[in-house]
Amino acid sequence: MAEIQAAYYMVAATGVLAAAIYYIMNLRNAVRDRRRQTILQKLPAISREYYEWNLQIRHDWKTLEQEWDEKYRVNPDLESKVWYLMNIYNTVGALYVEGLMSLEEVAQLYSPGWVIGWYEMFEFLIKRLRFNNRGEVVYPEYMASFERLYNDLKRKYPGVAEQQRMMHQETQRLMEAKSDSKTSSQ
């Protein structure tokens, strides 16, 4: 009789333990989901301005590194747009790195081509800001989430970067043709 009662207690204790583990797992998932929702709510909705800013800045693809200081640093409006968009991508990268978003979810919200193109366009700036004036690394993790997101998107969608470059070249060609036609008509 004592053995049956001991077995009953063991089964009951196992049930309580399983319930506690289930409760803790659900609690952790709820906290994780709440954290993810909070961050996503703070990210801007993909608005018309988002696309306008992306396009406005991306047209300077070829000469951006040479012109950064003379074109963007002296234009607070344009520079703030660059940092705003880079911080959006870094925040999304942080969500991805922390496992709060999958790569597929990121690709559903933000075009992999734009994320890849944006990183490639401003990689020089990200790398520059990791060092001080003496060339010493002072902030190695600067935009590290964005960089990880870029690397993983590029690995998952290998043809997107080339597609973006081709589209950009075509846009540049059309813009040059348009400005040439305006010049010749005057």
What is this structure's pTM? 0.64
Q: What pLDDT shows up at residue 19?
A: 84
123-175 pLDDT tens trace: 888 888 888 878 888 888 999 999 999 999 999 998 887 777 777 677 667 76
Domain boundaries, the chain: 1-42, 44-185
Q: What pLDDT shows up at residue 159?
A: 83
C-alpha neighbours within 13 Å on the C-beta side of residue 9: 6
